Chain A
Amino acid sequence: MSDWLIGLEAIADPLVLLLIVCGVSIGIVVGALPGISATVGVAILLPFTFALEPIQGTMLLLGIYGGAVYAGSIPAILVRAPGTPASAASVDDGNALARQGQADQALKVSVLGSTLGGIIGVILLALLAPVLASFALGFGPAAYFMLALLALTVVAAVSEGRMLKGLISGALGLAIALIGLDTIQGFPRLTGGSPELASGIDYIPVMIGLFAVAEAFLQFENRLGISLKAKGQRFSPGLGWLKKLAPSAILGSVIGFIIGVIPGTGGDIGSFVAYNEAKRAARKDRRNFGHGDIRGLVSAESAKNAGTAGALAPTLTLGIPGDVTSAVLIGAITVHGLQPGPALFDGSPDLVYGIFIGFLVVYLVLLLLGWFGSGLWARMIERVPATYLWPTGIVLAVLGSYSLRSNLFDVMVMLIAAVLGYVMIKGGFPLAPLIIGMILGPIAEEGFRLAMILEGDLSWVLQPLPLVLLLMTVASAGFALRRELRSTAS
């Protein structure tokens, strides 16, 4: 129990609580703006966390994460334009309600679903992660290799309809991670004799460039405005309303969490799966789904935010990112010399258990801010001055990569990544596999080589855990391939 008290102590700090409120507020605004996903928001604000204590910085970023994933649904409901990809499943029912004059009700369903999903997700995370971490302490190099392979396959597989480009993006990430000393023989690969490259390319400036600056460049091309007018009557919820929502919300939360746990996924897919399951569970009463059914909306909403907590499970216990946003979180933690993974649970209980408690606080804050301030947020989001927002975003990115080690090398890396990201987005290449490949490449290589050195041959593949993971990898690759073939056939 003492770990929980240490975590509570870490969170019960006025500055941490203030950072949570700031994070959630920033998250709501950026999440609702077109083009800024949770990842972009977290990447832009990442530099602020370098000088903060690990728990302070992590809570700011988690606040943004939770807030942005929720707020992506505000424009999805009001104008059919999801602010973040995870809100895509909420468009049909949410917007149908808005067109029927029920925008207020739809927004309240969204707040309630998102926070409930987040809270259930965090509780499941807090229960599951310590068990998973103690289990993961026994993971050998073979298991880590297979986990990394699974995550890479899943990331490429979820690049819907663009698997070829997703795979190229992932291979590029693996290639970038080759730069520097190899971990087993200490041989400098692809450094061209440069001492700066010998220590490898830090993925933090790459992430800032790829996600924050590339998006900023695009915003200079098409300046998007947004108009969020909620029409129709005010809605005051009653007990019957809550009773109608509860089963779909709980189902959605559990599904969202479980899918979020799979390395490389997150809320984007969970919300669609949960929506379909809620529809299936409604049996004969499903005609209204897609035309403004609050049960459909709440299942998608709860699943996407439960996915944020699910994504933290592999991130914290294994150091393998659950989705791209949690990959940025890994960056925020490693910058302080800490390494996410099972050892973190013993080494920094204040951070790990602080994250569990703090993420719960994030969702409580979100419930208050979202429930009572939905009108206020819509007005604020409309008034964000894009003229100054994006230039300042670029300054923050330059500043952030500079302040990492006070040198211009990282700024250069960030700028190259920004141009690369810009070209990739334009060419239809998903960015997520690149960054996941960059993080997982070294884990996979070291795991494979150590397993080979330890066992002498490939017999480790048949050990129970690696074998199960291998089967999961083959299954997800097969699933993706089948879908890809179908989509090209049709």
Chain B
Amino acid sequence: MSAQHAETPNTETEHSQTQPSTQVSRTADRVFAVVVLLLAAGLGLAALTFPAATQDSDPGTAALPWLITAALAVLGVLLLLRPQPSAVLPPASVRRTAAAILILTVVYAGLLDVLGFIPSTFAFLCCASRLMGGRRWLQILLVSALTAAALHLLFAGLLDVHLPAGLLEGVIP
């Protein structure tokens, strides 16, 4: 990953210079630690139901799950004891954009089968380019339509990938 995501030891001074609206705290790491501990508990409970080994010296199907449970538990406790400051929530100014692209992508994947590849991709590209800061509508519409059509041509035509036709069933080859 690029340098911008790397954790720096002096996050607090860094953030006051560059991203004033980002909240830096140790809470995120504490939440992560609890999630890790819950995962460990869940995995451990599941492993209780795994059958015993069928061969004498085989450690069995539950051995690795137990080992991972133990590792997650120890690591979770360590993280809880030594949380590092980090900024998990995006700055307030872009929080809506961040949420929007996430929801948009999920909706796009859900509509793929219903609307078909070209219509849903066209709609997704229009909205996402707009979110990305595109302002000229005509250009957005044109580029989105061309990209959707070109990708369909490339994948369905050249690469023989089956794509859902949806609304355009029977219209496109």
Interface residues of A (CB under 8 A from B): 34-35, 37, 47-48, 50-52, 81-85, 88, 161-162, 164-165, 167-168, 171-172, 174-175, 178, 182, 184-185, 187, 189-190, 213, 215-224, 386-388, 390-392, 394-396, 398-399, 402-403, 406, 408, 411-412, 415, 418-419, 422-423, 425-431, 441, 445, 448-449, 452-453, 455-457
Contacts and interface: CB of A to CB of B under 8 A. Distances in A.
A51 B105 contact: no
B36 interface: yes
B1 A431 contact: yes
Given A51-B160, A217-B101, A419-B102, A391 B125 contact: yes
Contact of A406 (B36, B102, B162): B162
21 contacts: A35-B2, A47-B155, A50-B159, A164-B79, A167-B71, A168-B76, A174-B64, A175-B43, A182-B61, A185-B53, A187-B61, A189-B46, A221-B97, A387-B133, A394-B105, A399-B151, A403-B161, A425-B5, A427-B86, A428-B86, A449-B63
Interface in B55-96: 55-61, 63-65, 68, 71-72, 75-76, 78-79, 82, 84, 86-91, 94
Nearest to A219: B132
B75 A168 contact: yes
B2 A82 contact: yes
B9 interface: yes
Lowest 10 CB-CB distances: which A-B pairs, in order?
A51-B159, A391-B128, A403-B161, A428-B7, A387-B134, A426-B88, A220-B101, A182-B61, A221-B94, A387-B132
A395 B57 contact: no
A217 B98 contact: yes
Contacts of A218: 5
Given A178-B68, A395-B147, A398-B109, 14 more contacts: A168-B79, A171-B75, A178-B64, A190-B46, A220-B98, A220-B131, A221-B98, A222-B4, A399-B151, A429-B32, A445-B64, A448-B64, A449-B63, A453-B57
Contacts of A386: 132-133
B3 A395 contact: no
Given A178-B65, A395-B147, A411-B109, A189 B50 contact: yes
Interface in B1-58: 1-5, 7, 9, 28-29, 32, 36, 39, 43, 46, 50-51, 53-58
A408 B113 contact: yes
Given A168-B75, A408-B113, A403 B147 contact: no
Contacts of B59: 448-449, 452
B61 A185 contact: yes
Contact of B112 (A82, A171, A402): A402
Chain A, interface SS category: helix
Given A184-B58, A425-B1, A453-B57, A164 B133 contact: no
A395 B124 contact: yes
The listed residue with most A CB atoms (<10 A of its CB), out of B1, B39, B56, is B1
A48 B5 CA distance: 28
Contacts of B106: 415
A190 B49 CA distance: 10
A51 to B, nearest CB: 3
B143 interface: yes
A219 B131 CA distance: 11
Contact of A398 (B28, B64, B79, B105): B105
Contacts of B155: 47, 51, 399, 403
A406 B97 CA distance: 30
Contact of A388 (B28, B64, B89, B143): B143
B61 A412 contact: no
A34 B90 CA distance: 19
Contacts of A395: 108, 121, 124-125, 147-148, 151
Interface of B: 1-5, 7, 9, 28-29, 32, 36, 39, 43, 46, 50-51, 53-61, 63-65, 68, 71-72, 75-76, 78-79, 82, 84, 86-91, 94, 97-98, 101-102, 105-106, 108-109, 112-113, 117, 121, 124-125, 128-129, 131-134, 143, 147-148, 151, 155, 158-163
B72 A175 contact: yes
A390 to B, nearest CB: 6
A213 B105 contact: yes
Contacts of B43: 175, 178, 190
Nearest to A395: B121
A408 B55 contact: no
Nearest to A192: B46
B61 A189 contact: yes
Given A182-B61, A184-B58, A426-B88, A392 B9 contact: no
A161 B102 CA distance: 30
A174 B53 CA distance: 20
A333 to B, nearest CB: 17
Contacts of B98: 217, 220-221
B132 to A, nearest CB: 5
Nearest to B86: A428
Nearest to B117: A399
A391 B124 contact: yes
A162 B7 contact: yes
A213 B124 CA distance: 14
A312 B47 CA distance: 36
B60 to A, nearest CB: 8
Contacts of B51: 185, 187
Contacts of A390: 128, 132
Contacts of A457: 57
B105 A418 contact: yes
Contacts of A418: 105
Contacts of A426: 28, 86-90
A222 B94 contact: yes
B90 to A, nearest CB: 5
Nearest to A162: B7
